[in-house]
Amino acid sequence: MCLRKITLTYCLKDEPSSKLAQSLGETIVSFDFGPAIVNPRNDTDSETNLVKEENVLWPIYILRGNGDILLVYNNHANFHTSMLIFGPLTMRPPAEDNYGVDACSLICLDCVPPVLVVATSSGVLYHCISLVCDEESSQEFSSFPIPTLYVYESLELTISLTSIKDQEILCPIRLHKSIYNPQVYFCSHIAGVHVVNVPLLSKFNLKDFSLEDTEPSIIENLICTKPLSLAQSSSIPLGLGLIMSRFYFSLIVLLSSGDFLVQRLSSLNFEKIELIEDNNDSKTSPPAVGFSAYISQILKRTMNAPLLKSEANKEPIKEESFQLLLNTTELLRQEYLLKMETAAEIMSKRIKSLINSKNMQMEEIEKCFLQKSTVLDNISAISKKYDTCLENQEKLSSRIEQVLRYLQNCQNHLSESELMVKQSLYDLQESLKTYKDTFSQIQLKFDYQQEIGLNETINSRVKGAPVANQIKAIRRILNNQ
């Protein structure tokens, strides 16, 4: 808050404050802060890639009463930066009246690139995209980016519900930003409160988008404290705030009479969106619109019947009351009944097509059931045939084996494998003969060696042992003695 007060005080100090300047619209009527940028004179930290706080510049957009928009960059570490005032900024396409000479309020929506909203006392809102063009930057202060404002859309608020020819209602309009949804803002004036939804902000995160394909902004008249243009109202909105519930948002308005009004907001104004995130998903194309979303688009209203708040003691003018009734009836017919009839017709066509498709699908299902029974019968018949074929195949294979065995036995010539077996048997037979001869020779040698050993044993007995006659003689001698 101190930063805003200091900056605004400095800007107002150099502005002319005479009555002539006020009459010419050269006084400042509103200002707002834009998204922070990096000071081009200072470099970021190459190691951490972080920006120091003293290197951040806060752009402040300042609005004059004649529609000129000035730009001041604020840096709390360098007060001399705020001494440079740029502008008035170039607005494209150019207009002779500079887009109104009765500007009264300005806000900068929280998005990148920033979108400025300029309100005039005649009830006209201008949406401007702030883009930096190098060719149009100032040569004197080329180190600071100087943006160009591109006005892509203008809206007109319905100040009074009664319309009388050649009657222009002038009242200051105050703009209020929403902290819950950047693409929604509120307008308050002596005749009530409006809410504006800017769909363009939700397209900034797409890779390719065009302003021609973007839906126009939606204005909803929430509260009307002055339904009749000629009537005097003592219920002027002084302030407003948002009440966040579990499933919806509500707007609470403080009136000059001391009363509070609470109006529930449409869910369309507070859908969850992501505007500044830069990721791979943001570069993809938006998904296809379903039937429910299509019906919602058809039923989407650009105007609505607001909540009326007027003094009960004063008697309204009959002409304006009748005009109010006609306008309300026309509004209900165009914004409610016609769209509902269109949606009902589309839904009836959709129902007919779904019924036809359902009938066709039921017929297809019946055909599928018939085909299923036929297929099951065919499967059972084929399985039986398969079993029969398998049995016949086994019988034929056994017969073929027998025939082959018989033929093999009847052949006079041998096959190659049989010849090899025969040769191997012949070789074994020859080897057996050789082994048999060798064994017989070894057996003969063994018998010969046994005979030689026996003879040697006999001879040794003859030489050393007494014979039987000798034994008898020895016995006789011993008996005689």
- What value does the CA radius of gyration of the chain take, rounded to a whole number of Å? 55
The pLDDT assigned to 279 comes to 44
- Collapsing DSSP states into helix, strand and coil, what is residue 99? coil
User: Can you tell me the distance from the alpha carbon of 234 to that of 231, in angstroms, rounded to the nearest whole number?
Assistant: 10
Query: What one-character-per-residue DSSP string does 377-421 give?
Result: HHHHHHHHHHHHHHHHHHHHHHHHHHHHHHHHHH-SS--HHHHHH
User: Can you tell me the distance from the alpha carbon of 72 to that of 62, in angstroms, rounded to the nearest whole number?
Assistant: 8
The pLDDT assigned to 264 comes to 83
The pLDDT assigned to 409 comes to 74
* Identity of the amino acid at 319: E
User: Can you tell me the distance from the alpha carbon of 70 to that of 81, in angstroms, rounded to the nearest whole number?
Assistant: 15
The dihedral through the CA atoms of 121, 63, 57, 49 has a sign that is positive
Which parts of 269-312 are beta strand (E)? 307-308
Nearest to 89 by CA among 153, 133, 23: 133
131-177 pLDDT, tens digit each: 887 655 544 555 778 898 999 899 988 777 665 544 566 788 999 99
User: Can you tell me the distance from the alpha carbon of 287 to that of 294, in angstroms, rounded to the nearest whole number?
Assistant: 13
Residue whose entry in the numeric block shows the structure tokens 């105050």? 174
Nearest to 127 by CA among 221, 196, 205: 196
The pLDDT assigned to 464 comes to 55
User: Can you tell me the distance from the alpha carbon of 108 to that of 119, in angstroms, rounded to the nearest whole number?
Assistant: 12
Each residue's pLDDT expressed in tens, for the chain with a length of 481 residues = 333 333 344 444 444 555 555 555 578 899 999 998 887 666 555 555 666 777 788 899 999 888 889 999 888 777 777 778 887 888 888 887 777 778 899 999 988 889 999 999 888 999 999 988 765 554 455 577 889 899 989 998 877 766 554 456 678 899 999 888 888 999 998 888 999 988 888 888 766 667 777 788 888 888 888 776 655 666 788 888 888 877 778 888 888 888 888 888 876 666 544 443 444 444 444 445 677 777 877 776 655 666 666 665 566 666 666 666 776 777 677 777 787 888 888 889 889 999 999 999 999 999 999 999 999 999 999 999 999 999 999 999 999 999 888 887 776 676 788 788 888 999 999 999 999 999 998 988 888 888 887 777 666 655 555 556 777 777 777 777 6
Strands 218-224 and 307-308: parallel
The pLDDT assigned to 127 comes to 93
Quote the tokens at residue 478: 């011993």
User: Can you tell me the distance from the alpha carbon of 187 to that of 221, in angstroms, rounded to the nearest whole number?
Assistant: 9
Which residues does 316 contact at the CB level (< 8 Å), separation at least 6? 228, 231, 310
Instruction: Note whether 129 and 113 are within 8 A (CB).
Output: yes
User: Can you tell me the distance from the alpha carbon of 13 to that of 7, in angstroms, rounded to the nearest whole number?
Assistant: 10
